[in-house]
Amino acid sequence: MDRIFITGANRGIGLELVRQYLGEDTSRIFATARQPQAAGELQALVAAHPGRLTLIPLEVTDEAAIAQAAQTVAGQVEALDILINNAAMNPPEDTQTLDGISVETMLRTLHVNTAAPLMIVKELLNWLRNGHNPRIINISSEMGSLAERTYGADYAYCASKAALNMVTRGLAADLRRDKITVIALDPGWVQTDMGSPEADLTPQESAHGIRAVAESLTLAQTGQFLRWDGQQNPW
Ligand SMILES: NC(=O)c1ccc[n+]([C@@H]2O[C@H](COP(=O)([O-])OP(=O)(O)OC[C@H]3O[C@@H](n4cnc5c(N)ncnc54)[C@H](OP(=O)(O)O)[C@@H]3O)[C@@H](O)[C@H]2O)c1
C-alpha cells in the first residue's frame, strides 16, 4: 500500500493524480487544497472512497498550516511513501515580461513554487523516513531548464522552477543517507488552467506518466530531472 501526499489537488494535474491513485485500491491519499470547502470534486471523491482519501486545507506558504497538515498525517498513518509537491502558480504573462516584472511577483512565485515545497519536505520528513521506498517528486517544468532557456519573459515562473530543480539536487544529496529518492519531474505541456486547452497532453495522460515514473523510481535515480514519460530532461 502506498501512502501518498499530494499538494494542489483540487484541480488540474493534482486532482487527476488523486483520481488515478484512488483507482488503485491499495493507496491511501492525503490531498491538499487551499479551500477544501470549495473543492467539490475532491469532496465527492472522499465520499466515494471512505477511509482512503483525507482532504487537508493547505495554503503552501502558510508554515503553521504545513505543520498542521503534518499533524493530520501523523494522526492517521505511520509513514508516507510518496510526496508529490504539485501545487504551483504561474503569474499572468504581462506581469512576467521584462517591462512588467516586479520584485513582488518574483518573490511570491519563488515562495509558492520553490520555498514551500522545501518546507513541506522538512515537515513530512519523519514520515517519509519510515516509508516504503520513500520518494519525493517535485513537479517542475521544462521552463525550469537552463539548457532550454533560449527565449525571454516568464521570469518568475522559469526562475522558480530552476530553483526548485536546485532544491531537488540538494535534497537528493541530503536524503540519500535516509534512502529517500528525490527527483524533479516535468509533467509535459498539459491541458489545465495553467497549461491552456491547446496543450499537448490531457491531465489523464500526464498523471498516468507521473504515476508510472513514481512506481518505477529507485534510489539509483535520485537527483534526476525526468519527464512524465520517464525520459531525462536537460538541466
Ligand atoms: N499544465 C502544464 O502545462 C504544466 C507544465 C509544466 C509544469 N506544470 C506544473 O504542474 C503542476 C500542476 O500544474 P497544473 O497545470 O495542474 O496547474 P493548475 O491547474 O493551475 O493547478 C494548480 C494547483 O496549485 C494550487 N496552488 C497554487 N498556488 C497555491 C498556493 N499558494 N497554496 C496552495 N496551493 C496552491 C492551485 O490551488 P487553487 O485552486 O487554490 O489556486 C491548484 O490546485 C505545477 O507544479 C505546474 O507548475 C504544469
Q: Which domains does the chain have, with CATH numbers?
A: 3-227 (3.40.50.720)
Q: Is 88 in the pocket of ligand 1 (CB under 6 A)?
A: yes
From the CA of 7, give the closest atom in ligand 1: 34
Whether residue 86 has its Cβ less than 6 Å from ligand 1: yes
For the Cβ of 112 lying below 6 angstroms from any atom of ligand 1, the answer is yes
Could you tell me the CA-to-CA distances from 14 to 2, 86, 93 in Å, in that order? 16, 6, 23
According to the model, what pLDDT value does residue 94 have? 98
Predicted confidence at residue 1, as pLDDT, reads 84
pTM: 0.99
Q: Say which residue the cell 489537488 belongs to.
A: 9
The number of residues making up the chain comes to 235
| pLDDT in the model for residue 39 | 98
pLDDT at 24: 87
Q: Tens digit of pLDDT for each residue in 4-39?
A: 999 999 999 999 999 999 998 789 999 999 999 999
Spans in the chain with pLDDT lower than 70: none
Ligand 1 pocket residue status of 190, Cβ below 6 Å: yes
199 lines ligand 1 (CB under 6 A): yes
- Centre of ligand 1 from the C-alpha of residue 189, in Å: 12
What pLDDT score does 232 carry? 97
The arrangement of strands across the sheet holding 3-6 comes to 53-57, 28-33, 3-6, 82-85, 135-139, 181-186, 225-227
The residues near 33 (Cβ < 8 Å, ≥ 6 apart) are 8, 9, 10, 39, 42, 55, 56, 57, 58
The pLDDT score that the predictor gives to residue 25 is 76
Ligand 1 atom 47: residue of nearest CA? 88
Give residue 26's pLDDT: 81
Q: Give the Cα separation of 160 and 118 in Å (integer).
A: 12
pLDDT at 214: 98
pLDDT at 35: 98
**Per residue in 86-106, is it b (16+ CB within 10 Å) or e — as a string?**
bbbbbbeeebbeeeebeeebb
Beta bridge partners of 3: 28
